[in-house]
Amino acid sequence: MEPINTDNTKAQMRKGVLELCILSILMQGDAYPTEIIDKLKDTKLVVVEGTLYPLLTRLKNTGLLTYRWEESTSGPPRKYYKLTEIGTQYLKELQVSWQELVDAVNKTIEKGNSSIII
Amino acid sequence: MNKTVTINISGIIFHIEEDAYQTLSNYLSKIKGYFSKTDGGNEIMADIESRIAELLQQKINTSKQVVLMVDVEHVMNTMGKPEDFADLDNNNNGLGNSQTTNTNSTSNGTETKKRLFRNPDEKAIGGVCSGLAAYIGVDTVWVRLAMFLLIFFGGLTLWVYLVMWIIIPLAKTTADKLAMRGEPITIDNISKTIQEEANDLRNRVDKTNIGKTASDLGNTLGNVFIRVLGLFIIFIAISMVIGFCTSSFSLFMVSSNSTVSFWIGSVLRSTAHYGWAVLSFILVFGIPTFMFLYLGIKLLFRITYSNKWLNLSLGLIWLLGFIIGIYVTYTTFNQFSETSKVKETKAIINSGDTLIVKATTVAELVKQFEFENNDDIENELEHDRSGYWTGEDKTGKTILGKVNVDVVENPNDTAIEVVAYYEAKGSSKQEANLSAKNIAHTLKQVGNTITIDELFLINQNDKFRFQEVTIKIKVPVGKVVYLDKSLKYMLDDVDNVTNTWDGDMVNRRWKMTDKGFVCIDCKGIDTNNNKNNSDEDEEEEGSSNNKSENVKIDEKGIDIKDKDSHIQINSDGIKVSTPEKDIEITNDGTKKVTNKK
Domain boundaries in chain A? Answer: 6-117
The DSSP 8-state label assigned to residue B28 in this structure reads: H
pLDDT at B323: 92
B395 in the same domain as B366: yes
Of B472, B453, B475, the closest CA to residue B349 belongs to: B475
pLDDT at B522: 74
The sign of the dihedral angle between the CA atoms of A105, A110, A113, A114 is: negative
CB atoms within 10 A of CB B165: 14
Closest chain B C-alpha to A112 CA, distance in angstroms: 26
Closest chain B C-alpha to A51 CA, distance in angstroms: 5
- Is B35 in contact with B43 (CB distance < 8 Å)? no
Residue A18: which residues within 8 A CB-CB, separation 6 or more? A40, A45, A46, A51, A52, A55, B88, B92
| Contact between chains at A55 and B88 (C-beta distance less than 8 A) | yes
B189-B6-B81 Cα angle (round to 5): 30
Of B239, B363, B251, the closest CA to residue B293 belongs to: B239
Which of B334, B358, B373 is the C-terminal boundary of a domain? Answer: B334
| Contact between chains at A48 and B79 (C-beta distance less than 8 A) | yes
Q: CA B461, CA B440: separation in Å to the nearest integer?
A: 12
The 3-class secondary structure across B501-535, one letter per residue, is: CHHHHCCEEEEECCCCEEECCCCCCCCHHHHHCCC
Per residue in B532-569, pLDDT tens?
A: 444 444 444 444 444 446 777 777 788 888 777 888 88
Q: What is the dihedral of CA A108, A109, A112, A114, to 10 degrees?
A: -110
pLDDT at B319: 92
Pairing outcome for strands B581-586 and B591-595: antiparallel
pLDDT at B103: 35
- Cβ-count burial of B385 within 10 angstroms (0-12 exposed, 13-18 middle, 19+ buried)? middle
pLDDT at B68: 87
Classify the phi-psi angles of A48: left when phi > 0, otherwise alpha if psi is within -120 to 50, otherwise beta. Answer: beta
Q: CA B513, CA B496: separation in Å to the nearest integer?
A: 10
Domain span at B303: 217-334
Architecture label for domain A6-117: Orthogonal Bundle (1.10)
Of B407, B416, B412, B476, the closest CA to residue B445 belongs to: B416
Q: CA B596, CA B584: separation in Å to the nearest integer?
A: 13
B498 in the same domain as B563: no
Q: CA B390, CA A91: separation in Å to the nearest integer?
A: 109
**What is the gyration radius of the CA atoms in chain A, in angstroms?**
17
| Contact between chains at B89 and A54 (C-beta distance less than 8 A) | yes
| Per-residue CA distances from B98 to A14, A83, A87, B95 (Å) | 19, 20, 16, 7
| Contact between chains at B80 and A76 (C-beta distance less than 8 A) | no
* B539, part of any domain: no
Q: What ipTM does the predicted assembly reach?
A: 0.79
Pairing outcome for strands B480-483 and B468-475: unpaired
B411 in the same domain as B468: yes
| Contact between chains at A76 and B82 (C-beta distance less than 8 A) | no
**Which residues are registered as beta bridge partners of B519?**
B510
Q: Kindly state the greatest CA–CA separation across chain B.
A: 146
Chain B residues contacting A via beta carbons under 8 Å? 10-12, 31, 35, 38-40, 43-44, 47-48, 50-51, 53-54, 57, 77-82, 84-85, 87-89, 91-93, 95-97
* B480, part of any domain: yes
The stretch A105-114 carries a mean pLDDT of 77
**What is the gyration radius of the CA atoms in chain B, in angstroms?**
47
Per residue in A56-100, pLDDT tens?
A: 888 888 888 888 888 877 777 888 999 898 889 888 988 888 898
Best probe of the A interface among B7, B30, B54, B81, by most A CBs < 10 A, is: B54
pLDDT tops 70 at residue A112: no
* B402, part of any domain: yes
| Contact between chains at B51 and A49 (C-beta distance less than 8 A) | yes
Number of domains making up chain B = 5
B287 in the same domain as B247: yes
* B28, part of any domain: yes
B326 in the same domain as B244: yes
Which is higher by pLDDT, A30 or B206?
A30
Pairing outcome for strands B480-483 and B354-360: parallel
* B415, part of any domain: yes
Q: Which residues of chain B have pLDDT under 50?
A: 87-111, 208-214, 526-548
Closest CB from B43, B47, B92 relative to A19: B92
User: What are the residue ranges of helices labelled H in B527-597?
Assistant: 536-545
Q: Which residues of B touch A34 (CB under 8 A)?
A: 51, 54
B502 in the same domain as B364: yes
Concatenate the DSSP letters of all residues of B151-217 into one string. Answer: HTTTTHHHHHHHHHHHHSPB--SHHHHHHHHT----HHHHHHHHHHHHHHHHHHHHHHHHTTTS-HH
B473 in the same domain as B377: yes
- Is B486 in contact with B393 (CB distance < 8 Å)? no
Distance of alpha carbon B395 from the chain centroid: 35
pLDDT at B539: 41
* B453, part of any domain: yes
Q: Which amino acid makes up residue A110?
A: E
- Is B523 in contact with B539 (CB distance < 8 Å)? yes
Q: Which residues of B touch A22 (CB under 8 A)?
A: none
* B309, part of any domain: yes
A62-A63-A67 Cα angle (round to 5): 120
* B511, part of any domain: yes
B311 in the same domain as B354: no
Of B484, B485, B508, the closest CA to residue B497 belongs to: B508
- Is B484 in contact with B356 (CB distance < 8 Å)? yes
**Which residues are registered as beta bridge partners of B450?**
B357, B445
